[in-house]
Every structure is written in structure tokens, then in C-alpha cells.
Amino acid sequence: MAVKIVYPACCGIDVHKTFVVACIASTNKGVTTYKIHRFSTYTKGLKELLQWLSKNNCNDVCMESTGKY
């Protein structure tokens, strides 16, 4: 039984106090590749995250905070 690809590109973000770690999973012809990058939680870093997501054609994101962040 094959896994149905719902989102060809999606990103998971782990939120910390001073940074976030983002991982984009892109699936093409059944092969998934991963790109991981760390960004600051300040405005400049979050704008860089947005540009990185756009550059990688990623419109779907889920986030998980660590502790109280």
C-alpha cells in the first residue's frame, strides 16, 4: 500500500526562545528530500524564513513550540 502525498512541499518549524529550526520536506516522483535551516526569532530572521519558504515553493507550515515559547 502506497502513501498518498497530500502536500508535495511542507515545512515543520520547531520554535525556541531566540531561534526557530525549519525543515522543508519536498516530494517529487515518490522521492522526498529535506532542507533544514535555522532562523532568528527577530523580525529580520522571520523575514528570511518567509523568503526561504517562498523560494522553495512551500505554502504549508506546521509549528511546535518548545516549553512555554
CA distance 55 to 69: 27
- Which class in CATH covers the domain with range 9-65? alpha beta
Angle, vertex CA 13, rays to CA 64 and CA 5, nearest 5: 100
pTM attached to this predicted model:
0.85
Report percent pLDDT > 70 for the chain: 91
What residue spans define the domains of the chain? Answer: 9-65
pLDDT of residue 42: 97
pLDDT in tens, 10-25: 999 999 889 999 999 9
pLDDT of residue 66: 66
C-beta neighbour count of 60 within 10 angstroms: 13
